[in-house]
Amino acid sequence: MASIYYTEVDLSPYEVPNEQSLCIYISGCQQICQNCHYPDLRKTNYGEPLIDFFEKLLELYFYQATCVCFLGEGENTLQSRRELTIFAKQASKMGKKVCLYSGRDVEPENWMNVFDYVKVGSYQQFLGSLDSSSTNQVFYRKKADGIYENITYTFWL
Ligand code: SF4
């Protein structure tokens, strides 16, 4: 049974620097951020199973998107990590960069290594999101040696 569900997609140049991203909004978020910007994403199994539509979405946005950005990581179970890993590898194989937005306050975890970009950190209204220089959130880019470097500052330029 699928564990990654999505509510909608859009194209955006803002989530990942220098990329035009196919953004996929994933439901099942386990965070409880005050003034959550998208409460529907906290519902479990809300929307459509991504596995049924992912290939179609990749085909549909193939010429417009240079990157696929997963906004959320679902319920963060082994199964949801497995599914996201498969999606990321599938998109990479088609020549797309891949990015994961996690709302958890963690360092990039081993299973996230398939992603070219990883954003971590909960939304703290008084600190602001990525575009605020006081933010607690961190945006990483994977270097050629596989190490993630913090490039959050690029959102403030
Ligand atoms: S991580 Fe995003 S979706 Fe989840 S509770 Fe926080 S603001 Fe809402």
Percentage of the chain surpassing pLDDT 70?
Answer: 100
Q: Position of tokens 């360092």?
A: 107
pLDDT tens-digit readout, 8-45: 999 999 999 999 999 999 999 999 998 998 999 999 99
Domains of the chain: 5-155 (3.20.20.70)
pLDDT tens-digit readout, 36-82: 989 999 999 999 999 999 999 999 999 999 999 999 999 999 999 99
| 121, 137 contact by CB (below 8 A) | yes
Q: Which atom of ligand 1 is nearest to the CA of 41?
A: 3
Task: Determine the pLDDT at residue 142.
Answer: 98
**Distance (Å, whole) CA 28 – CA 5:** 8
Task: Determine the pLDDT at residue 157.
Answer: 82
Other C-beta atoms closer than 10 Å to the C-beta of 81 total 18
Residue among 23, 31, 70, 100 to mutate when testing ligand 1 (max atoms within 8 A of CB): 31
Dig out the tokens for 124 from the structure: 């703290």
- What's phi and psi for 84, nearest 5 deg? -65, -40
